[in-house]
């Protein structure tokens, strides 16, 4: 597909700077062969839905050969397609079909760890002198015979497993069947160069890099400071938060890996999108300085409560910390977290709040993403205990239930008698086909928001400022000639005079300055007069303001 000329100038405009992204959790998106599991054929079949929504790029979760212990995030072969999902020919068909619709494809690469069934690790298990032993991180037991240090897994429990045959432990920041790869080994760097080129030469447009904050580890394998007593029976979050993760993640060598990849992908004009799961904006700035990863996700929005203070804080911090705000990836939902309409209160109230929050995200500098079904206002799906599939105790199945496409069997996701997860308790009004037929549906509201994001020149402006003097429950900002205002409080907020740097607009007397409502969370958008100039509780609007003096 046509693309901008690649450049090494980090300040230049790139194709992703004006894009809207969409995450496809492949197992749950659309089943094309009737086995109850989503696949590449199903995704090809549903590309017109994504085209109608208006998204520019699609990030696809892992589709590689895998034993599926963590549903593809345990890769056994980085340069092939799992038969459950299709084959390389179908992958090529997907890329071509997406490009025909102006949609770019971003593949999920998993470089922090592989499957224990990857040929590298199978060879490494044959002994300390194996050719691929140093592709992974091994260490002798501590003095008491236990793990080499106190590192814990993101999924809970120690991050080390003993290989009885050799007497050494291997590291795994996730499941024991996901051994961590040793990125201090030059052979690993060369091997992944080949992996990236393999997919780039097939026409993909970039990579979403799993666990981007943790590839490099402290070479001395020092224990992390313990900041609260570690309880091995606590939740995975409680166990992780018991330590100051000084040596297992965010090592200074990490960005060097991405600088190398940056140079590799430049001739392809491809995107490096980091899963940069950090807790502080300054950490994100260190991990995404601008000469490595092109964009780093800021995940804090997926855990906040519904309040103006919480929303204001989660948006302001990273914008202030980053050297260029276009380095930010904005997400309210993903395949790992409770869906925002449920987090924000459930029902139509939660759906409305989710759309309000998305409105704020979509006006900001950076790359906004939707997670599949977010455009339908989907609540968390219900999965009974006996049908849960997630390998970790704090199940993520509720946000992964199959996408509802149309009324009928399995809501159009699959023709199978049993799908890999149940439908989640959806009804016909949740389906894409029903919502696309209703002009005031959640789908059309999100479609209108995407359209404003992509077509308004002001939303590409580097001129950005917060508007602070309105009301404690109101979050507002100006970007170019665009004003975004959200009322997160319980009372209506009358729009009056707003100071916009050297100019102002009085919404109560619109004759003093021209202003056009481009989008409101209460309608499908479009050009609407400002009448009445009042923001209802839990609502947001986007205006274009005449830049000329009154």
Q: Delimit the domains of the chain by residue range.
A: 15-111+186-216+251-454, 119-171, 463-545
Q: Which of 257, 229, 261, 256 is nearest to 242 (CA)?
A: 229
Q: Which CATH class is domain 463-545?
A: mainly beta
pLDDT number for residue 303:
92
- ω into residue 361 within 30 of 0, thus cis? no
pTM score, whole prediction:
0.95
Q: Are 170 and 177 a contacting pair, CB within 8 Å? A: no
Quickly list DSSP for 465-531: EEE-SS-TTEEEEEETTEEEEEE-SSS-EE--EEEETTEEEETTSGGGS-EEEEEETTS--SSB---
pLDDT at 184: 98
With a pLDDT cut of 90, the percent of the chain lying above it is 89
Dump pLDDT digits (tens) for 432-443.
999 999 999 999
Whole-angstrom CA distances from 260 to 6, 108, 194, 255, 264 are 16, 18, 13, 9, 6
**pLDDT score, position 534:** 85
Partners of 515 in beta bridges: 545
Residue 415's closest CA among 148, 162, 41, 3? 41
**Do 15-111+186-216+251-454 and 463-545 show the same overall fold?**
no
pLDDT of 458 reads 93
User: Mind giving me the DSSP string for 387-421?
Assistant: G---SSSS--GGGSSPPP-SSSGGGGS-SSSS-SS
Residues 6 or more apart whose CB falls under 8 angstroms from that of 305 comprise none
Give the E-state strand segments of 173-314 in sequence order. Answer: 206-209, 271-274, 295-298
The predicted pLDDT at position 528 comes to 41
Pair 481, 547: CB distance under 8 Å: yes
CATH homologous superfamily, domain 15-111+186-216+251-454: Glycosidases (3.20.20.80)
Task: Give me the pLDDT at residue 525, please.
Answer: 44
Supply 417's token pair: 């008698």
Residues of the chain with pLDDT under 70: 1-11, 502-503, 508-514, 523-532, 547-550
The tens digit of pLDDT for each residue in 80-90 reads 999 999 999 99
Contact yes or no for 507/530 (Cβ under 8 A): yes
Closest CA to 459 of 347, 360, 351, 362: 362
Q: 30 CB contacts (<8 Å, ≥6 apart)?
A: 38, 39, 42, 43, 45, 46, 403, 405, 413, 414
The structure tokens listed for 277 are 């799961």
Q: Is-catalytic flag, 241?
A: no
Q: What does the pLDDT read at residue 412?
A: 98
Catalytic annotation, pick one of 180, 205, 248, 275: 275
Given 210, 374, 375, 380, the catalytic residue: 210
Distance CA 378, CA 372 (A): 9
Q: State residue 4's pLDDT score.
A: 37
**210 among known catalytic residues:** yes
Q: 157, 134, 150, 139: which is closest to 222 by C-alpha?
A: 150
Residues 6+ apart with CB under 8 A from 179: 113, 114, 116, 121, 124, 136, 137, 170, 171, 172
CATH assignment of 119-171, among 3.90.400.10, 3.40.50.300, 1.10.3720.10, 3.10.520.10 = 3.90.400.10
Q: How far is Cα 301 from Cα 306, in angstroms, rounded to an integer?
A: 10
Instruction: Determine the pLDDT at residue 497.
Output: 78
**Tokens in use for 545?**
């303001």
């Amino acid at each position: 597909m046509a693309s901008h000329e690649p450049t090494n100038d980090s300040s230049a405009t790139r194709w992703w700077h004006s894009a809207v992204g969409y995450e496809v959790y492949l197992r749950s998106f659309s089943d094309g062969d009737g086995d109850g599991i989503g696949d590449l054929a199903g995704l090809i079949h549903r590309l017109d839905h994504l085209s109608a929504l208006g998204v520019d790029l699609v990030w696809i979760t892992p589709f590689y050969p895998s034993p599926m212990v963590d549903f593809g995030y345990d890769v056994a072969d980085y340069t092939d397609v799992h038969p459950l999902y299709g084959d390389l020919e179908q992958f090529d068909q997907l890329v071509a079909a997406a490009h025909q619709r102006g949609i770019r494809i971003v593949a999920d690469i998993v470089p922090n760890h592989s499957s224990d069934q990857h040929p590298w690790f199978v060879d490494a298990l044959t002994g300390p002198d194996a050719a691929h032993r140093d592709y992974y991180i091994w260490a002798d037991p501590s003095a008491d015979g236990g793990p080499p240090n106190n590192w814990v897994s993101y999924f809970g429990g120690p991050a080390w497993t003993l290989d009885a045959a050799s007497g050494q432990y291997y590291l795994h920041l996730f499941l024991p069947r996901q051994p961590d790869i040793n990125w201090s080994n030059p052979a690993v760097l060369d091997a992944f160069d080949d992996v990236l080129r393999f997919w780039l030469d097939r026409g993909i447009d970039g990579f979403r890099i799993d666990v981007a904050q943790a590839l490099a580890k402290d070479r001395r394998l020092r224990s992390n400071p313990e900041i609260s007593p570690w309880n091995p029976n606590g939740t995975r979050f409680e166990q992780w938060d018991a330590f100051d993760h000084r040596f297992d993640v965010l090592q200074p060598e990490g960005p060097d890996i991405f600088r190398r990849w940056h140079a590799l992908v430049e001739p392809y004009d491809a995107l490096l999108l980091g899963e940069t799961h950090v807790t502080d904006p300054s950490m994100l700035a260190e991990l995404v300085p601008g000469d490595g990863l092109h964009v780093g996700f800021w995940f804090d929005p997926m855990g906040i409560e519904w309040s103006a203070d919480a929303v204001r804080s989660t948006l302001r911090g990273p914008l202030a910390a980053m050297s260029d705000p276009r380095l930010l990836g904005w997400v309210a939902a993903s395949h790992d977290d409770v869906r925002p309409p449920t987090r924000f209160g459930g029902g139509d109230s939660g759906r409305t709040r989710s759309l309000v929050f998305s409105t704020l995200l979509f006006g900001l500098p950076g790359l906004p993403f939707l997670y599949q079904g977010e455009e339908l206002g989907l609540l968390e799906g219900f999965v009974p205990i006996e049908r849960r599939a997630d390998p970790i105790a704090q199940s993520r199945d509720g946000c992964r239930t199959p996408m509802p496409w149309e009324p009928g069997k399995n809501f159009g996701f699959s023709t199978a008698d049993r799908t890999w997860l149940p439908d989640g308790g959806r009804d016909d009004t949740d389906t894409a086909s029903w919502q696309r037929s209703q002009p005031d549906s959640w789908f059309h509201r999100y479609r209108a928001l995407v359209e404003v994001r992509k077509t308004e020149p002001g939303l590409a402006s580097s001129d950005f400022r917060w508007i602070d003097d309105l009301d404690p429950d109101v979050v507002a900002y100006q970007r170019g000639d665009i004003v975004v205002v959200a009322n997160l409080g319980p009372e209506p907020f009358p729009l009056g005079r707003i100071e916009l740097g050297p100019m102002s607009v009085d919404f109560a007397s619109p004759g003093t300055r021209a202003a056009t409502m481009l989008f409101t969370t209460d309608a499908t958008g479009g050009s609407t007069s400002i009448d009445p100039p009042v923001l209802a509780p839990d609502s947001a609007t986007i205006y274009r303001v005449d830049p000329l003096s009154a």
